[in-house]
Chain A
Amino acid sequence: MGYPHASHQRETAVLSQYFGDTEARTLDGWKKRGGYQALEKALAMAPADIVNVVKESGLRGRGGAGFPTGMKWSFMKPGDGKPHYLCCNADESEPGTFKDREIMRWTPHALVEGCAIGAYAIGAETAYIYIRGEFTEPLLWMERAVQEAYAAGILGPNAMGTGKRIDVHVHKGAGAYICGEETALMNSLEGRRGNPRIKPPFPAVSGVFGSPTTINNVETLVAVCPILMKGAEWYKSMCLSNPKSTGTKLFSVCGNVRNPGTFEVVMGFPFKDFLYDLCGGPATGRKFKAVIPGGASVPIQTMEEADATLMDYEGFVAQGSMLGSGGVIVIDDAQSMVRVIARLARFFAHESCAQCTQCREGTAWTTKILERIRDGQGTMEDLDTLMSIAYNMTGTTICVLSDSCATPVISGIKKFGHEFEALIHGKRIHSVMAAVA
């Protein structure tokens, strides 16, 4: 449901149906709503069967990369003699994204349940939920839910009376965007600087504490519960476009839109309807100018592209962008694209971990040039330099933070180059002019 708004009839509330329902936060309330039945069912199954159901459902990672979850789980080879770990990536810090926050603060037990199922499925006895430090409220509810689950014997050495050990621990981050990158998250969990690691080795071979590890996004793990309850076929049937994108997806919407919030729709939903119908369209007297549909790291879409998009992994790619984390940033005609992109670049410069040369130096340099153009001090030469730097920053570093900084620059200059040029040539961008353009 479109928290904080009333549910829209075109939404399909599977994961979000209890958002805003304060009772669902407690163990009793959660159980009344069918909670922990999926875990009970899972613990009675063989781990490989759970993996197969998830594979069959077509569930793909909801953190941004869209990797098939069941396949990821199948990389964890049982009986290798090493402890296995599940890490739940709750470091939601991609600008524009706040769906996991809603899951954790309204249905914390759903995540505990999802983690327990995931851990069991990959042969792990321990799951860590890495929550960003700024999420004080979600942290509070998650810690409470974990405590309740331990007290009720759902977690612990004899999880739900099955004799199986499942531990779930909440781990609080301390302010670093990059810890949402899975290998940086593992380093941070180990008590290190949140520096991404070189792959290989991949986490399934050597992850956190040098052991085989699976890292899943909050929404991914939570989605496993209804999949187990209602079956892979049911989940797979929720598909409006490409059969490779199944189920429902939470989209968090922010920026210059009438109803910002979190919405849940079936994969393949028309983006135009989503923006104008569910999200209420632009404010009175305004027009949409651009959308960044998958969190700050994905290419900017023009409205022509956005209007033609079907909301799934393939649909966004077909229209020049990516589904990413499902964080939709809507920009209206009152905004200067240069200002928006400069502010995004500053974010990435602030968050660069400092390991790779291109990222450490490139993000800061990009920011300086963009802010210069924003302030009317730029030159046409600066635009060439920006593009050249952006290309040097793409595909050359350990992780994709560098690429993420380059992406809005490249797509911004390509699609909204006239705004840059107008500022360089001394013209102020007025909303009317931008609308005409």
Chain B
Amino acid sequence: MARTTSDAPAAETAPSLGAEHDVELFRRMLLIRRFEETVQSLFQKGEVHGTTHLYVGEEAGAVGVADVLGPDDRVAGTYRGHGHALALGVDPQALLDEMLGRATGVCGGRAGSMNVIDLEHRLIGCFGIIGGSASAATGAALAQRRVGGVAVAFFGEGTTNHGYFHECLNFAAVAKLPVVFVCENNLYGEFTPYEDVTAGDIAGRVASYGVPTETIDGNDVWVVRAAAEAAVARARAGEGPQFIQSMTYRHVGHSRSDPGAYRKPGELDAWKERDPLLVARARLQELHGLTPERLDAVDAEVTAQLDAAAVAGLAAPYPDPAEGLGREFKD
């Protein structure tokens, strides 16, 4: 595993986990992709409200990291958190129902897209304000170290300029907390290229805190998984916080109101050739000899699952205000 202080990912291949496991990773990424497309379609029909931030193109990050976590580990995500939720095993129907504002949603319709919480599946929260995931994970690590658990924070490269990032890195490093900070660098903070607003480079900053850091190809789920496995093991062993910079790209705009016109010409097409799903397909065909038809069948199954979820979600009941809006305090 190459360690680097620059933001250029090291070229490498990661070991196979066996055909069944490898196909499962592919399926999970497909689940996220089709889920996000379903959300997008429902948003355009006015059924998902407010705004949503889609993870399309970045699926390898969530799936690769989640695959190495155990029952005592905890994850904090951002407003672009649907992928992380699904990768942790959150029920797609309950997650979709939450987007649709239904009573059957993960949070009863109270949280919406940006603030999903599912403690049963180890998701302590998705935070609508940048930096929240880093701080929540720092706290989770403080608690979970008692039982040998590790906390993971997902955030984007924009967060590395935020006060939360520096305070939490330092705090965790000083206290040797078992937290793995995963920066999913998709090159743009909202509409701004990250180099325009970032002095120096991200990996170098983290290294200056004495925290082990690694920059990887975030579109290869096996590369992500391998890096996460090593980082989580080090953190769990008491070596303190770890940092992974996962280079990736989002295929759609920052949010639903952003057509992405600020991208450099040709950039989207180049990254689409590195689509995590295509990378996975190629590897599955190459390593395990799986046919395109076999892989298409997985896609069809996932697609059908989400189509059915959309229908069920639209038929699910809204929470009834007559039953009260909810309690302020726990008694």
A, B from the same assembly: no
Interface residues of B (CB under 8 A from A): none
Interface residues of A (CB under 8 A from B): none
